[in-house]
Structure 1
Amino acid sequence: MPDVEIRKISSVLEEIFHEGGPPANVPPRRAAIIAVIKNPFAGRYVEEIQPFMEDLKPLGLDMAKRLVEMLGGDAGIVEGYGKGAIVGAAGELEHGALWHAPGGYAMREVLGGAKAIVPSAKKVGAAGTRLDVPVTHTDASYVRSHFDSMEVGINDAPRADELALVLVMTTGARVHSRSGGLLAEDITGEDGLR
């Protein structure tokens, strides 16, 4: 398989002080990192694409480690995560699906074995396409306070022959979460659901 050819890496960090309600004592933070890489399958149909997932694993680990650093360097404060991919117009949606395992398992590893499935979104789009990356709690998918998303995108990516691969991590619930459901302090974290 071809080497992963990175054109650029972009990152963003948000601190959410309030959403119209009282300011948070400790503002939750959300961080996203996007790697823009050459799509080795752009412009043609290739039957066997799975081996490229192995090539993406080191990139996933590097991106996950960078996110933890952006959030303060302590993986223990990360409570939410998600991933996504924007495929340039000369690619196909399945090329974005190759990010599922390398992106998800990288975050789980860096976070010490998080239990919940890493939610994902992917689409094909032109340069400047935005993607809403879904976020859930790292150990229990049903923690309603952590259902969130982070919109990401880069003005000049992905080009037609590129992939924009995304990871997102958060430090807590939505700033004014009050919709009920399973609370983070009540999870058992055994099956990734509750």
Structure 2
Amino acid sequence: MPEPILRKSALVVEEIFHEGGPVAEKPLRRAAMLCVIKNPFAGRYVEDIAGFMEDLKPLGVDMAQKLVDALGGDAGIVEGYGKGAIVGTAGELEHGALWHVPGGYSMREILPASNAIVPSTKKIGGPGTRLDVPVTHCNASYVRSHFDAMEVGLADGPKADEILLALVMTTGPRIHARVGGLKASDIEGKDGLR
């Protein structure tokens, strides 16, 4: 399969101090790493595309490491994650699904305590399309305080023959989380759920 051809990347870091309530002792930090690559399957139907996932793995690991670095360099402070893809209009949704394995496993490789499945979303769109990347706790998907999302997108991508790949990491729960459920402090860490 062809090596990914990268056109551009972007790194976005948010710090959230409050959501209308009291200012948090420590702000929530959310970061997104975006890469726009050429879609090698754009404009045509190709039966065997799965091999491209292997080619995307090094890019995924690089993106995950850049996120950890942007959040301070300590993978131990990352508590939430998610991934997504926007496929340009000459592609198909299945091309975005190619990001499931390399995007998810790259973050699980970089984060020492990440047992939970990496939530994901994908869509078809053109330049300026926005995507809400879902986020859950990286060790236990049922930790309700960490159910979140980060909106991502770029003004000039993806073009019709491109794919925008996204990884998101967070350092904690939603600011002012107070709707109950499993607490991060009560994670058993056995099954990626609880």
- TM-score after normalising by structure 2: 0.99
1:171 partnered with 2:180: no
Q: Provide the residue aligned with 1:124 in structure 2.
A: 124
Assess, with a 3 A threshold, how the Cα gap between structure 1 residues 102 and 113 changes in structure 2: closer, same or farther.
farther
Structure 2 counterparts to residues 106-185 of structure 1, below 5 A:
106-185=106-185
Give, as a single letter, the amino acid of the residue that structure 2 aligns with 1:78.
Answer: V
For the residues of structure 2 that align with 1:135 and 1:87, how far apart are their CA atoms?
20
Alpha-carbon distance in 2 for matches of 1:116, 1:3: 29
Separation in 1, partners of 2:72, 2:185: 22
Question: In 1, distance between residues paired with 2:29 and 2:190?
Answer: 26
Instruction: Count residues with an aligned counterpart.
Output: 194
State the alpha-carbon separation in 2 of the partners of residues 22 and 2 from structure 1: 51
Aligned partner letter, 2:168? V
Hey, what's the Cα distance between the residues in 2 that align with 1:120 and 1:183?
22
Q: Report if aligned partners of 2:113, 2:138 keep a CA contact under 8 Å in 1.
A: no
Q: C-alpha deviations, 1:102-122, integer Å up to 9, x for none? A: 000000000015100000000
CA RMSD of aligned residues (A): 0.5
Contact 2:89/2:160 (<8 A) preserved: yes
Q: Please name the residue that 1:15 is paired with.
A: 15
Query: For residue 191 of structure 1, what is the amino acid of its counterpart?
Result: D
Per-residue CA shift, 1:4-50, capped at 9, x if unaligned? 10000011000000000000000010000100000000000000000
SS of equivalent residue, structure 1 residue 85: strand
User: What is the letter of the counterpart of residue 63 of structure 1?
Assistant: M
Secondary structure (helix, strand or coil) at the match of 1:3 reads: coil
User: How many Å apart are 1:189 and its aligned residue?
Assistant: 1.1
Q: CA deviation at 1:52?
A: 0.1
The secondary structure found in structure 2 opposite 1:83 is strand
Deviation at 1:151, TM superposition (A): 0.1
In structure 1, the residue corresponding to 2:101 is in which secondary structure? helix
Is 2:2 aligned against 1:2?
yes
CA distance in 1, matches of 2:124, 2:78: 29
Tell me, which stretches of 5 or more residues in structure 1 are unaligned?
none
What CA distance in whole angstroms lies between the structure 1 residues aligned with 2:148 and 2:156? 26
Return the alpha-carbon distance in structure 2 between the equivalents of residues 141 and 179 of structure 1: 16
- Measured in 1, the distance between the counterparts of 2:189 and 2:99 equals 25
Q: Which runs of 5+ in 2 are unaligned?
A: none
**Partner in structure 1 of residue 191 of structure 2:** 191
SS at match of 1:49: coil
The whole-number CA distance in structure 2 between the counterparts of 1:132 and 1:31 is 13
SS of match in other structure, 2:189 = coil
Name the aligned partner's letter for residue 167 of structure 1: L
Specify the alignment match of 1:84 in structure 2.
84
3-state SS in 1 of match to 2:136: strand
In the alignment, structure 1 residue 72 sits paired with structure 2 residue 72? yes
2: CA distance, partners of 1:84 / 1:60: 12
Residue 34 of structure 1 aligns with which residue? 34
